[in-house]
């Protein structure tokens, strides 16, 4: 059975163990913390997916990255962008 789970992203580059076939639904800041939501089937084995979170204006190498989403804090003073590193 599929469910929506959330995954905190505690550092600029985070490895997340998601069930194989998970579908990333959204990225945003929850109470100021970068968070990913995905549709998952908890009965299947897991795979490691690497996510890169960076702020607007930070340099990064965009090659091999798939855009996930953008989130911002309540007053808009911090805007973060999430990418999955494609292997």
Cβ 36 vs Cβ 27: under 8 Å: yes
Report the predicted TM-score, pTM, of the whole model to 2 decimal places: 0.90
Summarize pLDDT for 17-69 with one digit per residue, the tens: 999 999 999 999 999 999 999 999 999 999 999 999 999 999 888 779 999 99
Instruction: Report the number of distinct structural domains present in the chain.
Output: 1
Query: Looking at residue 4, what is its pLDDT?
Result: 98
Provide the domain limits for residue 65. 2-85
The residues near 87 (Cβ < 8 Å, ≥ 6 apart) are 50
Q: Place 2 in a pLDDT band, splitting at 50, 70 and 90.
A: very high
**In the prediction, which pLDDT does 15 show?**
97
Q: Tell me the C-alpha to C-alpha distance, in Å, between residue 87 and each of 49, 55, 64, 76, 81.
A: 9, 23, 7, 32, 19
């Amino acid at each position: 059975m599929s469910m929506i789970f959330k995954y905190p992203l505690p550092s600029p580059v985070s490895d997340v163990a998601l069930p194989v076939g998970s579908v990333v639904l959204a990225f945003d800041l929850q109470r100021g913390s970068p968070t990913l939501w995905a549709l998952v089937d908890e009965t299947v084995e897991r795979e490691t997916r690497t996510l890169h979170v960076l702020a607007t204006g930070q340099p990064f190498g965009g090659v091999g990255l798939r855009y996930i989403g953008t989130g911002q804090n309540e007053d808009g003073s911090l805007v973060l962008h999430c990418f999955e590193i494609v292997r």
